[in-house]
Structure formats: C-alpha cells, structure tokens
C-alpha cells in the first residue's frame, strides 16, 4: 500500500535575525507548536524561480532539525516577507508561511527597536533629573544616563564612571560628535533615539568621570545652536525605530540627497548600501577616511523625469588632513534613477566623488570663505 511521501521531520529550533549586519538582534524560537506550524507551512509553500534583489533582503531565518552535524537551513526574506531559499534559488509563497513570519518578525521588531516618540512627548518621559537606560543599536552596549537640561533636545550625563567608560567604548575608545542610533528606555517605554559621544558644556554630576554632558535626540528634536532639526540625528532615529529602509524607499530625490550626505558625514554604512544603485566600497571608504565633518547648506532638484533626477547639493566640508580646521566649499550634483514599476530612487554612487579631498576630486574646488558653525549639539 502506497503511503505517499513521508512527512518532513519537524524543526527543533529556529533563529530569526536580520540580514543587515548593523542590526544584531535575534529571536530564538523553541516553541514546539510554532516550529510544527513552520515545518508544515514550508512543506506546502509554492516555489517559483523568482530571484529577489539582494539589497531588499532584510530578514534571515535559520532552521534546525536536530540532526547531529547537520548544517542549519537558511531562508531570507524582504521587509514585506517575500521569502527566498538561497540553496535552491527559489521564492516561496504561502499564506501560512507569511502569517507565521509576520508574527515572528513583529515580535523581534518590538524587542529590538524603539518606538518613534515626538520630542514634545519624549521630554515628559525623561524630565530633568530623571534617568534612562540607553542601548547602542549596533554594539548592544548599554549604559545609564541622567537628564541634565535641554529644551531643544535632552542634554544628558552618564550616571557613573562605568557608564562613561561604556559610552566611550561605543565610539571605539574615543569621544566623537558622530551620531549613533540608540534605544532609550525611560518611564517604561523603549524610544528610538540618537546620540553624539562628545563631552561638552557643563553638568550636574562630578563623580562620573565625564566633564559636561552629551546630546540625546528624539523624533523632531533640534540642535541648540541653529534651532534646526539635524539630518544626522533624525536618520539615526529612523534607524533605531526600524524605519530606515521604508523611509529611504519613500524619500523623494531632494530628501534622499540630504539623507545620503548625513550618512557620509556620520559613516552610516546601512543607508549608503541600501540606496546605492551600484555600491562602490572603495569610494565609500575613501570618503569615510578623508572627511572629518560636513555641513549641508542646501539641496535643490535641478532636473527630473519619470525615472531620473539630479539634485544639486551645496556643502562645506572639513577634511581630516592636512588642516582639519580648513573649510572647503563643495557643489555637487547627485544623480538618482528609479527602476520601472515605481520602485525606490537609487543613487549613482560615483556622483559622490566630488566630495573627495582637493587633489583627489575634480578641479575647481576651493577653500570656503564661510566659517564653520559649531552646529553639533
């Protein structure tokens, strides 16, 4: 009597994580009922040879069947849960599979990311004198802070010497103005936020081995010096909220140009990798190595049609060498293209080459007569 094909052996464990190396969060799945459903959903899913754009892959699911010495099976998925089996180079589709993954990815999102809370609400969750726990998104390092002052954003201080040491470790052992994505837990809520790592000004604590305070930004908060919303901090807030990819996908060329400049300034690899039509690791590394900081003065759309756009960006750039205090005025045109089907705008990465230091880029670059503004905090 033909009993048909044997039922697949159920998975004994699964690990859900992110494809992006900047997102180290993971969810361990050991619930037998969920694993049985997942086994069944994969066995009944349809398969088709429809490869996905590797830049859009977002989730990674490792599946274990418990066999000794057996390598785990791997599935990849886009943000909208289109599932790809890289071993067979096929796309899997099935309502049960999508439902299970939706539940699991929703759980991981809630655990790993913070919620976007406007500054006018966040300031009440972290009043002056209150404390919060800050988790750096990429390293997972956590430290405690106390709110010192701040009306445009939160000026905070590390609570103890150990917290100061951890903050410095987040920045590789050096103090830095570079923005980083963090999740700040205050009043029982995990909030998407951004920090810089530079002691400045004054503070209230004198036994934390940290002179002054540093900045903690939330959605819509502003810098003190210009009273403007800072592109770098807001980019990191999006990253900390798990909303970076969808925000870049939805951005029009002018906004995208500002995000790109912020990513170059703060060495934000995930953004540049995601928006690049054709990534150029050598050019990216050169920009990161040469540029100390930059300020964008304007970004305007010069020309556009259905699938192409050019944005003129005016900026002042400070280089690491030979003179870190010398400002150079830069005017460059970023070229963007949009694939058929109303996909997201993609950057021609080579259009960033004018940002290279004088002598490494095109002729006509000159020192700027514009004095650099502090504009950091």
CATH of the domain at 251: 3.10.450.50
Using the predicted structure, report yes or no on whether residue 367 has a pLDDT greater than 60: no
Task: Give the domain extent around 254.
Answer: 243-367
Structure tokens at 87: 């071993």
| Same domain, yes or no: 65 and 139 | no
Per mean pLDDT, which range of 2-11, 184-193, 277-286, 331-340 is the poorest? Answer: 2-11
CATH number at residue 179: 2.30.110
Dmax (CA) of the chain: 89
Contact partners, residue 33, CB within 8 Å, separation at least 6: none
Residues facing residue 144 across a β-bridge: 133
* Mean pLDDT of the region 28-40: 96
Q: Does the pLDDT value for residue 2 go beyond 60?
A: no
With contact defined as beta carbons under 8 Å apart, do 310 and 332 qualify? Answer: no
Q: Are residues 47 and 137 located together in one domain of the fold?
A: no
Confidence of residue 55 (pLDDT cuts 50, 70, 90): confident
Helices 95-112, 32-44: inter-axial angle, 10-degree rounding: 140
Residue with tokens 């998975």: 11
Question: Which pLDDT value is given to residue 244?
Answer: 98
State residue 174's pLDDT score.
Answer: 96
The residue that leads in pLDDT, 368 or 306, is 306
Whether the per-residue pLDDT at 4 is higher than 80: the answer is no
What's the average model confidence in pLDDT over 144-161? 97
pTM of the predicted model, to two decimals?
A: 0.93
- Confidence label for 225 from pLDDT (cuts 50, 70 and 90): confident
Which pair of tokens denotes residue 314?
A: 């005016």
Pair 256, 335 in one domain = yes
For residue 1, pLDDT beyond 50: no
**Per-residue model confidence as pLDDT tens digits over 233-253:** 999 999 999 999 999 999 999
Q: Using CA atoms, how far apart are residues 111 and 134, in angstroms rounded to an integer? A: 14
Q: Are residues 261 and 341 in the same domain?
A: yes
Q: Where does residue 25 rank: exposed (0-12), middle (13-18), buried (19+ CB within 10 A)?
A: middle
Per-residue pLDDT, 52: 79
Q: Is residue 1 part of a domain?
A: no
- Tell me the pLDDT tens digit for each residue of 258-284: 999 999 999 999 999 999 998 899 999
372 vs 282, higher pLDDT: 282
Judge whether 173 lies within some domain: yes
Residue 336's H or E segment, with its range, is strand 327-337
Nearest to 357 by CA among 321, 332, 333, 331: 321
**Distance from C-alpha of 125 to C-alpha of 266, rounded to nearest angstrom:** 27
Distance of CA 230 to the CA centre of its chain: 15
* Same-domain check for residues 22 and 88: yes
Unique residue bearing structure tokens 């000794």: 68
Reply yes or no on whether the pLDDT at 373 is more than 70: no
The verdict on residue 61 lying in a domain is yes
d(CA 1, CA 6): 14
pLDDT at 93 over 70: yes
Whether residue 4 lies inside any domain: the answer is no
Q: What is the mean pLDDT of residues 104-131?
A: 98
Residues listed for the chain: 377
Nearest Cα neighbor of 323 from 358, 374, 355 is 358
As given in the structure block, the two tokens for residue 100 are 């299970």
| 3-state DSSP assignment of residue 182 | strand
- Establish if 58 belongs to a structural domain: yes
**What CA–CA distance (Å, rounded) separates 195 from 214?**
8
Count the domains in the chain.
Answer: 3
Q: Please identify, among 112, 129, 153, the residue that sits at the C-terminal boundary of a domain.
A: 112
Say if 374 falls within a structural domain. Answer: no
362 pLDDT more than 70:
no
The yes-or-no verdict on residue 315 having pLDDT over 50 is yes
Percent of the chain surpassing pLDDT 90: 84
Instruction: Give yes or no: residues 351 and 278 share one domain.
Output: yes
Grade residue 358 by pLDDT with cuts at 50, 70 and 90.
confident
8 A C-beta contact, residue 132 and residue 51: no
Predicted local confidence at residue 343, as pLDDT? 84
Domain termination site, one of 83, 112, 141:
112
pLDDT of residue 368: 44
Last residue of a domain, one of 112, 131, 156: 112
* pLDDT for the residue numbered 6: 56
Q: Are 112 and 23 in contact (CB under 8 A)?
A: yes
Q: How confident is the model at residue 359 (pLDDT cuts 50, 70, 90)?
A: low
* One domain, residues 195 and 148: yes
Whether residue 250 sits in one domain with residue 180: no
Indicate if 221 and 248 belong to the same structural domain: no
User: Which run of H or of E encompasses 23?
Assistant: none
In this structure, are 216 and 277 located in the same domain? Answer: no
Mean pLDDT of 208-234: 96
Cβ atoms 143, 134 nearer than 8 A = yes
> 376: pLDDT confidence band, cut at 50, 70 and 90?
low
Q: Which of 172, 193, 170, 191 is nearest to 181 (CA)?
A: 193
Same domain, 249 and 229: no
pLDDT of 375 above 70: no
| Residue 3 lies inside a defined structural domain of this protein | no
Q: Does residue 247 come out as left (phi exceeding 0), alpha (psi in the -120 to 50 range) or beta?
A: alpha
6 inside domain = no
Q: Above 90 in pLDDT, residue 168?
A: yes
Q: What's the mean per-residue pLDDT of the chain?
A: 92
Question: What would the two tokens of residue 355 be?
Answer: 């940002």
d(CA 113, CA 246): 14
Are 288 and 312 in the same domain? yes
Distance from C-alpha of 112 to C-alpha of 135, rounded to nearest angstrom: 10
């Amino acid at each position: 009597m033909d009993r048909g094909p044997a039922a697949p052996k159920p998975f004994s464990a699964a690990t859900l994580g992110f494809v992006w190396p900047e997102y180290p969060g993971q969810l361990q799945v050991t619930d037998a009922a969920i694993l049985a459903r997942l086994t069944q959903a994969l066995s009944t899913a349809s398969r088709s040879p429809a490869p996905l754009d590797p830049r859009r892959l977002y989730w990674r699911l490792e599946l274990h069947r418990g066999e000794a010495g057996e390598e785990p099976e791997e599935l990849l998925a886009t943000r909208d849960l289109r599932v790809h089996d890289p071993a067979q180079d096929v796309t899997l589709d099935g309502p049960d599979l999508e439902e299970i993954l939706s539940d699991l990815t929703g759980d991981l999102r809630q655990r790993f990311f913070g919620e976007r809370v406007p500054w006018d609400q966040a300031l009440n969750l972290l009043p002056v004198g209150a404390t919060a726990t800050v988790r750096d998104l990429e390293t997972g390092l956590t430290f405690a802070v106390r709110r010192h002052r701040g009306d445009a954003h939160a000026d905070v201080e590390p609570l103890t010497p150990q917290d100061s040491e951890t903050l410095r470790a987040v920045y590789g052992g050096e103090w830095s103005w570079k923005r980083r994505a963090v999740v700040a837990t205050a009043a029982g809520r995990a909030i998407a936020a951004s920090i810089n790592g530079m002691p400045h000004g004054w503070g209230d604590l004198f036994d934390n081995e940290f002179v002054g305070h540093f900045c903690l930004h939330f959605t819509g908060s502003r810098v003190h010096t210009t009273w403007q919303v800072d592109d770098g901090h807001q980019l990191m807030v999006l990253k900390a909220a798990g909303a970076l990819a969808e925000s870049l996908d939805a951005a029009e060329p002018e906004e995208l140009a500002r995000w790109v400049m912020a990513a170059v300034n703060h060495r934000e690899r995930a953004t540049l990798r995601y928006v690049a039509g054709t990534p150029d690791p050598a050019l990216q590394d050169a920009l990161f190595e040469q540029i100390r900081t930059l300020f964008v003065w304007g970004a305007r759309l010069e020309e556009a049609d259905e699938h192409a756009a050019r944005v003129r960006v005016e900026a002042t750039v400070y280089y690491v060498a030979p003179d870190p205090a010398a400002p150079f005025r830069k005017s460059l045109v970023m070229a963007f293209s949009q694939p058929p089907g109303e996909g997201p705008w993609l950057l021609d990465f080579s259009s960033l080459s004018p940002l290279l230091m004088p002598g490494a880029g095109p002729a006509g670059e000159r020192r700027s007569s514009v004095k650099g503004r502090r504009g950091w905090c």
